[in-house]
Structure 1
Amino acid sequence: MLKNQKPIVYVDADSCPVKEEIQRVCQKHVVTPVFVSTFNHYSPDADNDNWRIIDPDDQAVDLYILNKVEKGDLVITQDLSFAVLLMGQGVYALTPRGKLIAEADADEILYRKYLRQKNQKARNRIKGPSALTDEDKKRFEMQLENFLSNNEGIF
């Protein structure tokens, strides 16, 4: 990060279920999040200056964010493998379920990904994550609020 530059909150916005919560908490802390989405997930909200709409190539959103983030930034993403990658750059990662990804989570995340890929290759049916609940959204909002409060003056 450049000297005197404030950290940024990036949002992997393709199918992000907590956009309203992000807007509400960031507005309270006078932080402008950057929502990154592909054309395939275009939303009328995207006309806002804090949206970046990019090509729908595979992993395009991840690559855009990866090329823009700097140490100390926060990324909100459902992609746990991407979160592990970001940690290596000193970037914080928060899931829509309110989990702040830590270095200690990396091995388990990558092992679970390995098992999922192995099952996919074997054509075994894989159950996806459970639906996001109101409790999950509240936990997310509280965690984002805590993160921004703890880093007040930085963000």
Structure 2
Amino acid sequence: MRILVDADACPVKEEIYKVAGRHGASVAIVSNSPIRTPAHSWIERVIVSDGFDAADNWIAEHAGPETICITADILLADRCLKAGAAAVVAPNGKPFTLSSIGSAIAMRAIMADLRAGGDAIGGPPPFSKNDRSRFLSALDEAIVRAKKGQK
């Protein structure tokens, strides 16, 4: 089991290390610039070029049935699901699934259109302690399901 992390703005890296260590999963921290990681043999730092979507491309290319992807990026989540990732989880604990990704993409497009039209719609709510707790639970559940071969 390998966890691929879209790490540049990921607020739950410490939680990922904790859960991965408990389950014996390896972790790839993928970013455009160096990010400090604990010195464990099962944590790999992957630094990609600063090209457009370079980190996303690396993660999508390495996603598969033995991987769990962590990202808030809806389009990357879609790519990982299409690549057959065992699970895709947002940092707030929300799982992306093949049945939910279409509506998430549609909502993203609607919000982009509203912003482009000059509407002040605000952004997502601030990351909270409840989000962190929900993420820990969701990642743990995803790993257990993946180990059992369930999606």
TM-score (structure 2 length as normaliser): 0.86
CA contact (8 A) 1:12 1:37 kept: yes
1:150 is the counterpart of 2:145: yes
Q: Distance in 2 between matches of 1:44 and 1:88?
A: 30
Residue in 2 aligned with 1:112? Answer: 107
Q: Is residue 81–residue 113 contact of structure 1 (8 Å, CA) maintained in 2?
A: no
Partner of 1:64: 58
Q: Following superposition of structure 1 onto structure 2, how do residues 40-119 of structure 1 map, counting pairs within 5 Å? A: 42-45=34-37, 50-91=44-85, 92-119=87-114
**Which has the larger share of strand?**
2
Distance between the aligned counterparts of 1:47 and 1:120, measured in 2? 42
CA gap 1:152/1:111 in 2 versus in 1, 3 angstroms:
closer
Aligned with 1:52: secondary structure? strand
Two-structure CA RMSD over aligned residues (Å): 2.0
> Are the equivalent residues in 1 in contact too, given 2:63–2:84 (CA < 8 A)?
no
The residue aligned with 1:131 is: 126
Q: What amino acid is aligned across from residue 116 of structure 1 in structure 2?
A: M
Query: Normalising to structure 1: TM-score of the pair?
Result: 0.84
Distance in structure 2 (CA, Å) of the matches to 1:67 and 1:150: 22
Structure 2, unmatched stretches of 5+, are none
Runs (4+) of structure 1 moved beyond 6 Å?
A: none
Aligned to 1:32: 26
CA distance in 2, matches of 1:142, 1:129: 21
The 1:69/1:150 distance shift into structure 2, 3 A limit, reads closer
Q: How high is the sequence identity, in percent, across the aligned residues?
A: 23
Structure 1 counterpart SS, 2:18: helix
1:50 aligned counterpart, secondary structure: strand
Structure 1 distance, partners of 2:148, 2:106, is 37
How far is 1:107 from its partner?
2.3
Uncovered stretches (5+) of structure 1, i.e. residues with no partner: 1-6
118-127 vs 94-103, which moves further: 118-127
The range that moved more, 135-144 or 48-57, is: 48-57
